Structure 1
Amino acid sequence: MPLDERPARFQALFRAHYPAVLRKITLLIGERAAAEDLTQEVFLRLYRNPPEDLDRVGPWLHRVLTRIVYDHYRKSGRESSLAEKQLHQAMSEEQAHPSNETAVIQSWERDVVRSVLNKLSERDRQALLLKEQGYSHGEIAEALQVNPKIVGTLLMRASNRFKKNLLSEEALEL
């Protein structure tokens, strides 16, 4: 196609196909503003690298818009993955290097928990600590030398005593 005909032909194709391309992309991604940007990208590709047969531009536009939408999803997936990694890293750094206020609060919480645990019987304290460390009921029963059938009840009662002592400890702090 001669260069002087190219802008007029492109404008005609743009006017004829823009609404359909925009509608398809909007349906695929659900965001009007992003769909408009992606539609512009489709038509930029048409202008820069038009197909050989401009009479069959419809299927060509459909292939291009499909690729652009896939690229959009791939890119947004990478961005959300990157954001999740950055959040995880920030949280890890906060745990590794807590602020002074956070360190003081964590120290206070540990002291309160130790104090409350020390008020429990040896068996209750061991049961709760083993459960917290991820031991199964069978392993807890073996360590405490009790019937495995009573471990659930033992843990529930120990937990209730812990909560009761914790509430009384917090009441004393106030």
Structure 2
Amino acid sequence: MDNFIPESDAFHTVFLEYYPGVRRKLIAMVKDEATAEDLAQEVFLRLYRNPPDDPRVVGAWLHRVLTRIAYDHTDTLVRQRKLQEKQERYFDREKTWESGEDALVRSEEREQITDLLDELPERDRQALMLRYSGYSYAEIAEEIRVSPPRVGSLLSRAADKLRRRAAGKPNGLEL
């Protein structure tokens, strides 16, 4: 009875008993039924993979895990919203009145930069976008899940890759 979860009948019984309550608590926490159902599945997946040692504490264990998952989900939403707000503020600052020719040149440059960024590995592209959106090194480290001391060298290497790609293109864009 030490490790009761891998037995499918025991897991099924626990699932049927606790799922409605877990789902209800998650709906109350995240205020979205579909998201709550996804998160409830994650709770029970964690239970299946790493059950508590004592089956008598499964209720408390589920509550602790569902709370952590709901908070993690909320934190992710907050980080995404902050990123979007920073990017919107950055691009709002960029909007100025300019001549048609200047606008065309600027548009072509942005398109070239976007194309160059698309050629970079995902982590390099994300790190550069975050940095130029005003994120601090600590915020970048958290977003791309690396240790803060690595951010500086990661950004430097990513910028070097971008410069090398720009130098090798016709109509060389200066970065």
TM-score (norm 2): 0.52
Q: What corresponds to 1:76 in structure 2? A: 77
Q: Does the aligned pair in 1 maintain the 2:23–2:40 contact within 8 Å?
A: yes
Counterpart residue identity of residue 73, structure 2: H
Question: What is the Cα-based RMSD across aligned positions, in Å?
Answer: 2.6
Deviating above 3 A after TM superposition, structure 1's stretches of 4 or more consecutive aligned residues are 1-5
Q: What corresponds to 1:54 in structure 2? A: 55
CA distance in 2 between partners of 1:30 and 1:93 (Å): 36
Which runs of structure 2 are paired with 1:116-135 in the superposition (5 Å)? Answer: none
Q: What corresponds to 2:14 in structure 1? A: 13
Q: Does the aligned pair in 1 maintain the 2:4–2:10 contact within 8 Å?
A: no
Q: Which deviates more, 4-13 or 35-44?
A: 4-13
CA distance in 2 between partners of 1:22 and 1:3 (Å): 22
Structure 1 4/43 Cα, relative in aligned 2: closer, same or farther at 3 Å?
closer
2:66 partner SS: helix
CA drift of 1:5 comes to 5.6
Does residue 1:37 correspond to 2:38, yes or no?
A: yes
Query: Gapped runs of 5+ residues in structure 2?
Result: 104-175
CA distance in 2 between partners of 1:27 and 1:70 (Å): 12
**Deviation per residue, 1:55-94 (Å, 9 max, x gap):** 2200000000111111011111000001101111221222
Q: What corresponds to 1:92 in structure 2? A: 93
CA distance in 1 between partners of 2:13 and 2:38 (Å): 20
Structure 1 2/61 Cα, relative in aligned 2: closer, same or farther at 3 Å?
closer
Q: Does the aligned pair in 1 maintain the 2:6–2:48 contact within 8 Å?
A: no
CA distance in 2 between partners of 1:8 and 1:24 (Å): 25
Query: Gapped runs of 5+ residues in structure 1?
Result: 104-174
CA distance in 1 between partners of 2:17 and 2:10 (Å): 11
2:45 partner SS: helix
CA distance in 2 between partners of 1:2 and 1:68 (Å): 23
Length, aligned pairs only: 102
CA distance in 2 between partners of 1:66 and 1:2 (Å): 23
Q: Does the aligned pair in 1 maintain the 2:29–2:70 contact within 8 Å?
A: yes
2:63 partner SS: helix
Counterpart residue identity of residue 68, structure 1: I
2:51 partner SS: coil
Q: What corresponds to 1:115 in structure 2? A: none
